[in-house]
């Protein structure tokens, strides 16, 4: 047993149930940690301590008002979308919503065209006047046949051919991941669909909306339970052996939990450059992608996304980088293989449960993390029940 696990064992055995200490120590106050804290406290009456090393709750979905009074997302634009009524209903207990359909333009060949690629994208880019039916034929004529769709390159060239792939995906992906699309799993570019109609929404999900008063307010309401204590500015390693607890929910990077004993899992990071302009609007839509120029991948303007009215406007530029906070797991076979080593270790740990984008090394959207946390809660509740019987 390594030092960390030893520490866990002694801390856990020091707990006196029902008298002092906590039933659950939750590491990370993002979606994964906050959903579990809320469920465990309000459904099972568990005493929960949720700890985050950052100075705020909400994880990467945290939002705040900047110095100009504009609501921004410090960790990049977060747009809520889901096909799950259950997940939407669950979050609706903690927030009202503002309907919002995200739209994205790509800056390609000196023009701003809709992304995902649709009928208007192709017509504008090539100066054509195709119908949806003709576009389907066009795609068929340029698509490269693939035996097997294995990589992120395969996904795109097998649908829209090499030229559109080069214009919209190759440069953006190389910038975002420092890797050619041929080296990344198909699932990465498969996140972006191709359309033959004129639908220019970035997402097609049934529920698309933003928390009316922001994400942070929603998290505050989730965590506002007398059984939940929040500890910020604290790496869990600083307190894990000081405060008694019985079970841990861990939502940070899984390889860091095990002191990188099998080697580092690659995560892609970003540098966010925030800027405010003394003008009402900066760009026509929420996000403009720059697949082929500049060091940044995209610029997002928050007022489009939040619906806020203000004489100034704030935007964020995203510069991909290798070092820094881990934002994206990197989906490719060798990384999945390394993750499985950590997963096997995680499964051996009786008193720690791993949940969330970093702890399960999955390129999950917010709704998927909420779904994963709710499913995890069900499992923990069953265990709880079995223990009580
Ligand atoms: P996180 O939010 O990362 O929370 C984990 C927390 O654990 C962090 O707050 C961290 O500080 C804390 N932590 C880690 N280690 C320790 C430690 N040792 N001690 C204490 N605390 C620790 N999803 C969407 O659905 N729509 C979008 O539009 C969208 N846009 C995105 C844009 C960007 C730029 C990024 C990076 C992600 C985006 N996502 C989006 C994904 C979304 O951010 C995640 O799905 C979600 O926030 C993951 O929640 P989580 O709780 O798993 O992780
Ligand atoms: N992508 C691209 N060009 C674009 C938009 C996306 O090549 O204009 C690729 C790129 O590899 C990106 C992936 O598709 O990382 C997923 O895009 P998404 O917008 O879902 O990324 P996220 O919002 O998660 O950063």
The Cα 386–Cα 389 span in angstroms is: 5
Confidence (pLDDT) at 389: 66
Residue nearest to atom 30 of ligand 1 (CA): 78
* 63 contact partners, CB below 8 Å, separation of at least 6: 71, 72, 73, 74, 78, 214, 215, 216
The Cα 106–Cα 172 span in angstroms is: 10
pTM for the predicted model, two decimal places: 0.96
Alpha-carbon torsion, ordered 336, 342, 344, 348, to 10 deg: -160
Residue nearest to atom 15 of ligand 1 (CA): 252
CB 356 within 8 A of CB 33: yes
The Cα 290–Cα 175 span in angstroms is: 10
Confidence (pLDDT) at 19: 52
The Cα 78–Cα 305 span in angstroms is: 9
For strands 328-329 and 267-277, give the pairing: antiparallel
Query: Is the ipTM above a cut-off of 0.95?
Result: yes
| Portions of the chain given CATH number 3.40.50.720 | 3-63+214-264+330-388
Identify which ligand lies nearest to the alpha carbon of 202: 2
Nearest to 71 by CA among 180, 231, 213: 213
For residue 34 and ligand 2, the question of a CB distance below 6 A is answered with no
> Ligand 1 pocket by C-beta < 6 Å: which residues?
27-33, 51-54, 59-61, 75-79, 235-236, 251-252, 270, 327, 356-358, 364-367, 369
The token pair at 230 is 């929040």
For residue 191 and ligand 2, the question of a CB distance below 6 A is answered with yes
Give CA 144 to chain center in angstroms. 31
Give me the phi and psi of 56, to 5 degrees please: -150, 165
Residue nearest to atom 10 of ligand 2 (CA): 173
Identify which ligand lies nearest to the alpha carbon of 364: 1
Residue nearest to atom 9 of ligand 1 (CA): 59
Question: CATH assignment of 3-63+214-264+330-388?
Answer: 3.40.50.720
Per-residue pLDDT of the chain (389 residues), as tens digits, is 444 444 444 444 444 444 569 999 999 999 999 999 999 999 999 999 999 999 999 999 999 999 999 999 999 999 999 999 999 999 999 999 999 999 999 999 999 999 999 999 999 999 999 999 999 999 999 999 999 999 999 999 999 999 999 999 999 999 999 999 999 999 999 999 999 999 999 999 999 999 999 999 999 999 999 999 999 999 999 999 999 999 999 999 999 999 999 999 999 999 999 999 999 999 999 999 999 999 999 999 999 999 999 999 999 999 999 999 999 999 999 999 999 999 999 999 999 999 999 999 999 999 999 999 999 999 999 998 898 76
> Ligand 1 mean position to 339 CA, how many Å?
18
> Ligand 1 mean position to 366 CA, how many Å?
8
State which of 28, 202, 257 you would mutate to test the pocket of ligand 1, scoring each by most atoms of that ligand within 8 A of its C-beta: 28
The token pair at 221 is 């309401």
Confidence (pLDDT) at 388: 72
Identify which ligand lies nearest to the alpha carbon of 327: 1
């Amino acid at each position: 047993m390594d030092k960390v696990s030893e520490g866990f064992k002694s801390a856990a055995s020091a707990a006196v149930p029902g008298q002092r200490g906590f039933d659950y120590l939750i590491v990370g106050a993002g979606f994964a940690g906050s959903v579990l804290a809320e469920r465990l406290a309000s459904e099972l009456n568990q005493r929960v301590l949720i700890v985050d090393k950052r100075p705020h709750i909400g994880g990467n979905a945290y939002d705040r008002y900047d110095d100009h009074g504009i609501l921004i997302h410090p960790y990049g634009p977060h747009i809520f979308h889901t096909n799950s009524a259950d997940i939407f209903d669950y979050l609706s207990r903690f927030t009202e919503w503002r309907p919002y359909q995200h739209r994205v333009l790509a800056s390609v060949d000196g023009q701003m065209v809709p992304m995902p690629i649709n009928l208007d994208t192709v017509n504008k880019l090539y100066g054509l006047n195709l119908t949806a039916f003709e576009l389907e034929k066009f795609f068929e004529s340029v698509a490269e046949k693939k035996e097997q769709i294995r990589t992120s390159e395969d996904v795109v060239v097998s649908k829209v051919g090499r030229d559109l792939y080069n214009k919209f995906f190759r440069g953006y992906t190389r910038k975002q991941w420092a890797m050619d699309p041929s080296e990344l799993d198909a699932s990465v570019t498969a996140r972006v669909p191709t359309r033959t109609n004129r639908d220019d929404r970035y997402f097609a999900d049934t529920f698309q909306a933003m928390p009316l008063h922001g994400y942070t307010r929603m998290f505050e309401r989730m965590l506002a339970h007398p059984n939940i204590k929040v500890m910020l500015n604290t790496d869990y390693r600083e307190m894990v052996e000081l405060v008694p607890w019985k079970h841990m929910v861990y939502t940070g990077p899984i390889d860091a939990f095990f002191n990188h004993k099998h080697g580092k899992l690659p995560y892609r990071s970003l540098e966010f450059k925030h800027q405010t302009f003394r003008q009402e609007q900066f760009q026509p839509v929420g996000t403009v992608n720059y697949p082929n120029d500049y060091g940044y991948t995209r610029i997002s303007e928050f007022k489009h996304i939040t619906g806020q009215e203000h004489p100034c406007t704030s935007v964020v530029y995203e510069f991909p980088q290798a070092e820094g906070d881990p934002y994206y797991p990197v989906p490719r076979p060798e990384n999945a293989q390394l993750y499985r080593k950590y997963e096997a270790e995680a499964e051996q740990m009786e008193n720690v449960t791993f949940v969330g984008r970093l702890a399960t090394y999955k390129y999950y959207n917010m709704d998927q993390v909420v779904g994963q946390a709710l499913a995890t809660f069900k499992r923990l509740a069953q265990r709880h029940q079995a223990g009580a019987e």
